[in-house]
Amino acid sequence: MIKVALVGVGNCASSLIQGKDYYHNRPNQEIGLMHKDFGGYKLQDISFVAAFDIDKRKVGNDLTKAIFAPPNCADRLDPQKPLEESGVIVQMGHVLDGVASHMTDIFKVSDAPASDVVQVLRDSGAEILINYLPVGSAAASRFYADCCLEAGVAFINAIPEFICSDDGWIAKFKKAGLPCAGDDIKSQVGATILHRSLAKLVDDRGQLIENTYQLNIGGNTDFENMIDETRLISKRKSKTQAVTSILSDRNKDIPVKIGPSDHVSHLGDNKVCYINIKGKQFGDVPFEIECKLSVQDSPNSAGVMVDAIRGVKIALDRGLSGNLEGLSSYLFKSPRVQFRDDKARQAVENFIHNPDISLKRV
């Protein structure tokens, strides 16, 4: 089993936990999986052994109950079959900057004392911690990363705080002999990968991009949290560089606007994205691409996270440490090194099938 701990029991954690049960009950199901078998590990091999949150409706409850507590709104993947209790009780985390001032009525902070995160990780036998904190949780994210270093636990950073892409943090994880992967998880077929693919297509075909934008709206707490523009600095940077970093010099310095635009409560966990690219083609003739994507946000993320978990587990098995560049480039918006998607995917495939190849080789 791959022993995983979670910090932040929100919608993304809900879809991930439900997904493990969903595919366990459907062992022949391949739809929605990029890898049914990832280096000998199946999705069903993932085991959740610890969890941290700060909401009083989740803290102290079994993990499989907590994922359905408000304000979570992720769809039930299998409404006909309730999840069995996991035996994992959600522990009180450390608030720090994890709750924005405008979210205090949404996240109802428990008055329980904060747990000893390092001790909980050690006692649970966790091998990997996933950071699912709200966007803008800079201090809190680094606190939990430090806890991983002290507890001897690998770290997956699902949010746009630049930790696994930062040379200083990478050095810390290398010194501790631990792998890390991040930052800012991509969705399986989401706004970033679609925009990135369209922009790269235009670039590869010799056309000029004059300007582009990506506007996103959604109804979950992620979007409500990001109403505060001060918490969006790293998110906008992460999403923007994910698109612009793979373009040729011809299309590097272009007007770009990418990022969350508004919270629309009745959308729930549905995310709607609008992408526009304007440019010039052969003979300076203008063209325009406009598209709309509508997806359930949290399952779209979980489909990628299951590969991130298994990739980090393989790195642990092989004694690798520091940032896993190929895995991070394929699965995250802001890796330390941006590879083209085809090269990143090939690096991951090589890593899976050849134990002598590091995820750093492309």
Measured CA to CA, the distance from residue 261 to residue 229 in angstroms comes to 10
Whether residues 170 and 303 share a domain: the answer is: yes
Token pair 């004059």: residue? 210
pLDDT digits (tens, 9 = 90+) for 35-85: 999 999 999 999 999 999 999 999 999 999 999 999 999 999 999 889 999
Whether residues 199 and 122 share a domain: the answer is: no
Whether residues 220 and 319 share a domain: the answer is: no
Measured CA to CA, the distance from residue 335 to residue 185 in angstroms comes to 10
Whether residues 117 and 252 share a domain: the answer is: no
Of 267, 297, 327, at which residue does a domain stop? 297
Q: Please list the residues that pair with 127 across neighbouring strands.
A: none
Q: What is the pTM of this model?
A: 0.94
Give the CA dihedral 159, 112, 89, 135, nearest 10 degrees.
Answer: -10
pLDDT at 361: 40
Contact (CB, 8 A) for 83 and 21: yes
Contact (CB, 8 A) for 322 and 336: no
Q: Identity (one letter) of the amino acid at 33?
A: L
Helix/strand/coil (H, E, C) string of the chain? CEEEEEECCCHHHHHHHHHHHHHHCCCCCCCCCCCCEECCEEHHHEEEEEEEECECCCCCCEHHHHCCCCCCCCCCCCCCCCCCCCCCECEECCCCCCCCHHHCCCCCECCCCCCCHHHHHHHHCCCEEEECCCCCCHHHHHHHHHHHHHHCCEEEECCCCCCCCCHHHHHHHHHHCCEEECCCECCCCCHHHHHHHHHHHHHHCCCEEEEEEEEEEECCHHHHHCCCHHHCHHHHHHHHHHHHCCCCHHHCCCCEEEEEEEECHHHCCEEEEEEEEEEECHHHCEEEEEEEEEEEHHHHHHHHHHHHHHHHHHHHHCCCCEECHHHHHHHECCCCCCCCHHHHHHHHHHHHHCCCCCCCCC
Measured CA to CA, the distance from residue 11 to residue 219 in angstroms comes to 11
| Residue 223 in domain | yes
Contact (CB, 8 A) for 135 and 235: yes
Q: How many domains does the chain have?
A: 2
Contact (CB, 8 A) for 341 and 197: yes
Kindly report the CATH number assigned to the domain that includes residue 239.
3.30.360.10
Whether residues 152 and 12 share a domain: the answer is: yes
Whether residues 61 and 168 share a domain: the answer is: yes
Q: Please list the residues that pair with 216 across neighbouring strands.
A: 260, 273
Q: Please list the residues that pair with 259 across neighbouring strands.
A: 215
pLDDT digits (tens, 9 = 90+) for 274-304: 999 999 999 999 999 999 999 999 999 999 9
Whether residues 288 and 348 share a domain: the answer is: no
Kindly report the CATH number assigned to the domain that includes residue 333.
3.40.50.720
| Residue 250 in domain | yes
Q: Identity (one letter) of the amino acid at 211?
A: N
Please give the residue range of the domain that contains residue 245: 191-297
pLDDT at 247: 93
Whether residues 67 and 203 share a domain: the answer is: no
pLDDT at 259: 86
| Residue 359 in domain | no
Of 297, 322, 339, at which residue does a domain stop? 297
Q: Which residue stretches of the chain have pLDDT < 50?
A: 361-362
| Residue 58 in domain | yes
Residues 6+ apart with CB under 8 A from 331: 181, 185, 186, 304, 307, 308, 311
Residues 6+ apart with CB under 8 A from 127: 2, 3, 4, 153, 154, 313, 316
Whether residues 215 and 140 share a domain: the answer is: no
Q: What are phi and psi of 55, to 5 degrees?
A: -85, 130
Distances from the Cα of 201 to the Cα of 166, 209, 295, 310, angstroms? 29, 11, 22, 30
| Residue 62 in domain | yes
pLDDT at 358: 55
Whether residues 120 and 241 share a domain: the answer is: no
> Of the candidates 98, 102, 21, which has an alpha carbon nearest to the alpha carbon of residue 64?
21
| Residue 361 in domain | no
pLDDT at 68: 98
| Residue 358 in domain | no
Q: Which two tokens stand for residue 20?
A: 């493990």
Whether residues 180 and 210 share a domain: the answer is: no
Whether residues 281 and 212 share a domain: the answer is: yes
| Residue 362 in domain | no
Looking from the CA of 211 toward its CB, the CA atoms found within 13 Å total 3
